[in-house]
Amino acid sequence: MTFKLCVSSFLKERATVHDRIRHTGLLEKRMSAAAAAALIKPGMTVAMSGFTGAGYPKAVPQALASQMEEVHAKGESFKIKVLTGASTAPELDGVLAKVGGMELRLPYMSDPALRKRINDGELDYMDIHLSHVAQHTWFGFYGGINIAIVEVVGILEDGRLIPSSSVGNNKTWLDMADAVIIEVNSQQSAAMEGMHDIYYGTALPPHRMPIQLTEPEDRIGVPYLHVDTEKIIAVVETNAPDRLSAFAAPDEASNQIADHLLDFLDGEIAKGRMSDKLLPLQSGVGNIANAVLAGLSRGGYRGLKAYTEVIQDGMLELIKDGTLAFASATSFSLSEAGIEEFNRNVDFYRERIVFRTQEISNHPELIRRLGCIALNGMIEADIYGNVNSTHVVGSHVMNGIGGSGDFARNGFLSVFMSPSTAKGGKISGIVPMASHVDHTEHDTMILITEQGLADLRGLAPKQRARVIVEKCAHPDYKPMLEDYFARASRDSYGKHTPHLLGEALSWHQRFIDTGDMRP
């Protein structure tokens, strides 16, 4: 079913700042970011909007960081717990990390300053499946939420909120928080009004019902976020763009990975396992994902659908050229050029994109029903197909698991991709034993490096090892892996998943000691 847009307000005119707040009571709650930030106290749990650098609050966190610095200068502590949708930007994670203002942060993150703090052991970071965050908050597993800070495009007369460039966990934050601070960002395109689909059918067990979505384009909710306006303690006007996502041309390794994947998909179609419309695509972000998307367009695919988390510039191009007929996501992470393109052809895109809460975009029920093709990056895989998505040498977290587990476990296909080496060859993407496991052998079907593609479906551990080393390992590391596997197959305690525990992690230790996994 498609949804005929029939929204009433912001599209008709070029909205001015004041047009964006139409609820008279809330107009009176306008205040400066500093005044709003002053409502946040040490120890509070603060839930913020934001997903992959889009739709995060731009002003209050910065004002809060300044106030924290003043308190810290007096020798006192001022830290809060921060919950988000996923990664945000320097104006949120960056500033709060720099002033040491967070004691806990969850879930996915990507800010360099925040990452450094976490890996220096200075703040606690919880890495969580993105589909789990909202429900675990409801379940009470993280305690209550004192304040939610949510960026929106505008506020309607009756207090309903027009969601911004990401939805993330905003519905849950608004429902659960004791108090709410709204940032109304007049830089966010008013043309997004009506493109969101906020599902209000979730419940706590034992009261849950089937989610009646059967196609990526189905609408099962409403275009607005609801909030008890009595809970709103501040409205802050902002006028700043999302952090720009630069859209780099894919490198050679990424293009080779994309070519392997496209060959594989052609083969699956030839075997009758999928039609030439494939199945709904989930695509991570970054270089390889962009190369894969570009490859689908080059490869002549048309009329595909995406059921994914993020729409970046590359996906907008696919929609434009007909490769993608429809895309469902939870976040719109566009560069400045992407935003311009969207605004230029807004009527076209509005019919072909929907934004959902992340509990729906990442819901196991829906990913399994739709049969998504899950395309995600990895840090390393071991010879048995266990995948490390998060930790360099087992202890240093990069970004987090994000939604990769939601899609890999439940999709029709789970694909993990990485160049076969990193740091100029000093790190192998294929190792004897993964130094941290995010996706077990039970959840990984296809591994791809620029060297080739390993199809692990229907294979037992030792069969997997032979295929992974043969197809995916870099020539510098292949003899080392073959040697390890041969000796392990001979000398291992058990011969089902052969390992030599004394050296299974020695490559990682060598990298720590010498800066190179190679002897």
Annotated binding site for CoA: 379, 399, 403, 423
The reply to whether 460 sits near a second copy by the rule CB under 8 A is yes
In the set 205, 424, 475, 519, which binds a second copy (CB under 8 A)? 205
State the Cα torsion 228-225-81-115 to the nearest 10°: -170
Q: Which residues pair with 356 in a beta bridge?
A: 197
CA distance 175 to 142: 15
The reply to whether 475 sits near a second copy by the rule CB under 8 A is no
Is 309 noted as a catalytic residue in this protein? yes
Number of residues counted as binding a second copy (CB under 8 A): 88
**Between 243 and 409, whose beta carbon lies closer to a second copy?**
409
Residue of 151, 193, 309, 441 marked active site = 309
Min separation Cβ 337 and a second copy, Å: 33
The reply to whether 5 sits near a second copy by the rule CB under 8 A is no
CA distance 324 to 31: 43
Q: Which residues pair with 34 in a beta bridge?
A: none
In the set 17, 204, 222, 248, which binds a second copy (CB under 8 A)? 204
The reply to whether 422 sits near a second copy by the rule CB under 8 A is no
**Between 237 and 441, whose beta carbon lies closer to a second copy?**
441
**Between 163 and 498, whose beta carbon lies closer to a second copy?**
498
Residues 290-319 that bind a second copy (CB under 8 A): none
The reply to whether 200 sits near a second copy by the rule CB under 8 A is no
The reply to whether 391 sits near a second copy by the rule CB under 8 A is yes
Q: What is the CA angle 54-415-129, rounded to 5? A: 50
CB 398 within 8 A of CB 357: no
In the set 30, 72, 136, 219, which binds a second copy (CB under 8 A)? 136
Min separation Cβ 276 and a second copy, Å: 13
In the set 41, 208, 298, 423, which binds a second copy (CB under 8 A)? 208
CA distance 82 to 125: 10
CA distance 389 to 435: 10
In the set 206, 424, 475, 519, which binds a second copy (CB under 8 A)? 206
277: part of which helix (H) or strand (E)?
A: none
- Residue indicated by tokens 């998505």: 389
Q: Parallel, antiparallel, or unpaired: how do β-strands 310-311 and 304-307 relate?
A: unpaired
State the Cα torsion 387-362-195-88 to the nearest 10°: -60
CB 216 within 8 A of CB 162: no
The reply to whether 210 sits near a second copy by the rule CB under 8 A is yes
Name the one range near a second copy by CB under 8 A: 16-24, 53-61, 315-323, 396-404. Answer: 396-404
The reply to whether 60 sits near a second copy by the rule CB under 8 A is no
The reply to whether 493 sits near a second copy by the rule CB under 8 A is yes
Min separation Cβ 174 and a second copy, Å: 21
CA distance 395 to 391: 6
Residues 266-295 that bind a second copy (CB under 8 A): 271-273, 279-280
Per-residue binding string, a second copy, 356-375, x by CB under 8 A, is: --------xx--xxxx----
The reply to whether 126 sits near a second copy by the rule CB under 8 A is yes
SS (H, E, C) 104-167: EEECCCCCHHHHHHHHCCCCEECCCCHHHHHHHHHCCCCCCCCEEEEEEEEECCCCCEEECCEC
**CA nearest 80: which of 17, 25, 143, 16?**
143
In the set 2, 8, 214, 514, which binds a second copy (CB under 8 A)? 214
The reply to whether 519 sits near a second copy by the rule CB under 8 A is no
**Between 298 and 457, whose beta carbon lies closer to a second copy?**
457
The reply to whether 100 sits near a second copy by the rule CB under 8 A is no
207: part of which helix (H) or strand (E)?
A: none
The reply to whether 492 sits near a second copy by the rule CB under 8 A is yes
Min separation Cβ 83 and a second copy, Å: 11
The reply to whether 344 sits near a second copy by the rule CB under 8 A is no
CA distance 231 to 225: 14
CA distance 391 to 381: 12
Min separation Cβ 123 and a second copy, Å: 8
Min separation Cβ 69 and a second copy, Å: 24
CB-based burial of residue 228 (10 Å sphere; 0-12 exposed, 13-18 middle, 19+ buried)?
exposed
Looking at the annotation, which residues are catalytic? 309
